Amino acid sequence: MSPLSLFPNILACLTMPLILATTTPDEPEIFASLQGEGPSAGRPSIFIRLSRCNLACVWCDTAYTWRFAGDNRPHRDAETFDRASNQVTLEEEDAAARIAALGGNRLVITGGEPLLQAPALARMLAHLPDMHVEIETNGTVAPPPALDRLVHQYNVSPKLSHSGNLASLALPADALSAWAGNPLAWFKFVISEPDDLDEVLKIQSEHGLPQSRIFLMAEGRESEILRSRMQWLPDQCAKLGFNFTDRLHIHLYGDTRGT
């Protein structure tokens, strides 16, 4: 008997196809746009958005990837989504073909939390031509070797206390220290108030996050809110020696799917 047959849940995880978010019912969220945040901001990219997340940020702008009917985790909109309309299953080869058809040489894998589906992602990437691959992650899940060797950049966004997540879930010490030592990892902190900066500094100090690879980004789903926080956040970045990143896609397209 195979050892994996003793653990059917593990076997299912290793063999299940990709679970994607949707732009409209049955239409997977795979699209071409500009990367709006972080070290690659402004670069033309192909995006694939996966469904499911192990955290629940109260300000999450993609709650349709996880807050399905029956999920009582808090969110400021208090909106729940129909799973059947907002999730679609896709074979890895099909997902790869849709990505390749859009052209381009940079792929951004986002979510949800993409690393929850690491085995399927590794299989999908094996079907793609050579591309620069970025994964956007909350930093709580370690990438397995089979996927890690296919990735060029991790955009790691540890969640601060204002996200509403317990620190024990959102900021696992071993995971953060491992990311700090990964030369492919860049760090992006979502900032709502000036007091959030103290928490960033504490996390940086405790886990040795490289200062040159830390970005601060204002929280907000509307241009006006982002601009109001830009009255003080860029100055604080300059003072503390951190990088600043805007949310370019919000200014260009608004808070919409597939952009």
Query: CA 135, 140, 98: angle at the middle one, nearest 5?
Result: 25
pLDDT band at 13; cut points 50, 70, 90: low
H-helix segments, the chain: 8-15, 83-86, 92-101, 118-126, 145-148, 167-170, 173-180, 196-207, 223-229, 233-240, 248-253
Q: pLDDT by residue (tens digit) across 44-83?
A: 999 999 999 999 999 999 999 999 999 999 999 999 999 9
In the predicted structure, residue 6 carries a pLDDT above the cut 90: no
Q: pLDDT by residue (tens digit) across 91-145?
A: 999 999 999 999 999 999 999 999 999 999 999 999 999 999 999 999 999 999 9
* Domain covering 16-253, topology: TIM Barrel (3.20.20)
Pair 28, 98: CB distance under 8 Å: yes
Q: pLDDT by residue (tens digit) across 178-219?
A: 999 999 999 999 999 999 999 999 999 999 999 999 999 999
Query: Would you kindly state where each structural domain of the chain is located, as residue ranges?
Result: 16-253
Pair 180, 158: CB distance under 8 Å: no
Pair 246, 217: CB distance under 8 Å: yes
In the predicted structure, residue 236 carries a pLDDT above the cut 70: yes
- Quick one: tokens of 166? 């317990």
pLDDT confidence of residue 259:
95
- Quick one: tokens of 21? 């978010």
pLDDT band at 1; cut points 50, 70, 90: very low
pLDDT confidence of residue 232:
98
CA distance 201 to 248: 25
Spatial neighbors of 138 by CB under 8 A, at least 6 apart, are: 53, 54, 55, 113, 156, 157, 158, 159, 170
